[in-house]
């Protein structure tokens, strides 16, 4: 049984502290939802875990099965078993999906000769038209196609843990159902542990969470069972709204030399 362990994680962007000590443990086969209001640090959390440039970790630790991730470059984190399904998958002109996954599998020390057949099978399973597989990565794909593509790559790469950064944004209900079902199946198929970051509970209709966490002001402020997601949907995040006053807007008439 593997685990993704996040302890006391603090991080800043451009000198501003966004994560204020996040503690979370996800075990293999479990689904943890992280919900929270806008600006709570949800996307920052997913980016910091995967090692996206532009973020500075100021404290805490992240590990998979005892392997410290924070000292590793992004591709080594992937090798350690982490996957990030991005909220806004980037277009990479001139690089085909097959090229990407062939390089990825061989870097992960896996058999890359099966890429073509595996991709075709997984694409069919998630309802991604095969004609899209020859396109450069994410180029000219619709929102739904991009998210199916992310999920399809997850299924081909079979990581230990997947972070889903707002997998439910920018796609229609059919695509949402296909994606969430595929991830749900992966939790039993290859014992995938999931950290599903989302603003809404609709993702969790097919992808059943074991634990729902509330992230607000850069830390986990509450946790509960699946019911918590429904409750949040009804009541919103007002309870955890910022209790300190937001920074005052710059006064355009202020004396710049004051």
List helix spans (H) across 23-172. 42-50, 74-79, 97-107, 115-126, 143-157
Stretch that binds other proteins, among 1-9, 55-63, 79-87, 216-224 (CB under 8 A): 79-87
| 121 forms part of the interface with other proteins (CB under 8 A) | no
Given a contact cutoff of 8 angstroms between Cβ atoms, the answer to whether 64 and 237 are in contact is no
| 162 forms part of the interface with other proteins (CB under 8 A) | no
Residue 243 CA neighbour count, 13 Å, CB half? 5
Q: Backbone dihedral region of 22: left (phi > 0), alpha (psi from -120 to 50 degrees) or beta?
A: beta
Instruction: Read off the tokens for 200.
Output: 């809404």
Stretch that binds other proteins, among 96-104, 141-149, 188-196, 216-224 (CB under 8 A): 96-104
In the set 83, 148, 151, 179, which binds other proteins (CB under 8 A)? 83
| 67 forms part of the interface with other proteins (CB under 8 A) | no
DSSP designation for 21: E
Q: Which of residues 2-21 bind other proteins (CB under 8 A)?
A: none
| 98 forms part of the interface with other proteins (CB under 8 A) | no
Work out how close the CB of 92 gets to other proteins at its nearest, in angstroms, rounded to a whole number. 5
**Nearest-angstrom CA–CA distance, 107 and 59:** 29
Q: Which residues bind to other proteins, rule: CB under 8 A?
A: 50-53, 73-75, 78-79, 83-84, 86, 89-95, 99-101, 103-105, 107-108, 136-137, 153, 157
């Amino acid at each position: 049984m593997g685990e993704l362990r996040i302890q006391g994680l603090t991080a800043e962007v451009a000198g501003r502290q966004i994560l204020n000590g996040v503690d979370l443990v996800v075990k293999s086969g479990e689904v943890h939802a992280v919900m929270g209001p806008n600006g709570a640090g949800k996307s920052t959390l997913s980016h910091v875990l995967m090692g996206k440039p532009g973020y500075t970790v100021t404290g805490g630790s992240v590990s998979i099965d005892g392997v410290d991730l924070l000292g590793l470059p992004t591709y080594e984190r992937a090798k350690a078993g982490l996957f990030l399904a991005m909220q806004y998958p980037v277009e990479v002109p001139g690089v085909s999906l097959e090229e990407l996954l062939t390089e990825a599998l061989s870097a992960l020390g896996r058999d890359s000769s099966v890429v073509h057949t595996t991709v075709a099978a997984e694409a069919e399973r998630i309802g991604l038209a095969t004609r899209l597989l020859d396109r450069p990565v994410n180029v000219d794909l619709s929102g739904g196609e991009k998210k199916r593509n992310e999920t399809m790559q997850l299924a081909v790469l079979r990581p230990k843990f997947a972070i889903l950064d707002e997998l439910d944004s920018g796609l229609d209900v059919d695509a949402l159902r296909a994606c969430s079902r595929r991830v749900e199946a992966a939790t039993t198929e290859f014992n995938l542990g999931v950290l599903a970051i989302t603003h809404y509970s609709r993702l969790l209709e097919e992808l059943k969470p074991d634990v729902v966490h509330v992230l607000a002001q850069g830390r986990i402020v509450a946790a509960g069972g699946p019911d918590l997601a429904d409750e949040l949907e009804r009541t919103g995040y007002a309870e955890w709204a910022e209790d300190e006053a937001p920074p005052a807007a710059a006064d355009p008439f202020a004396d710049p030399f004051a």
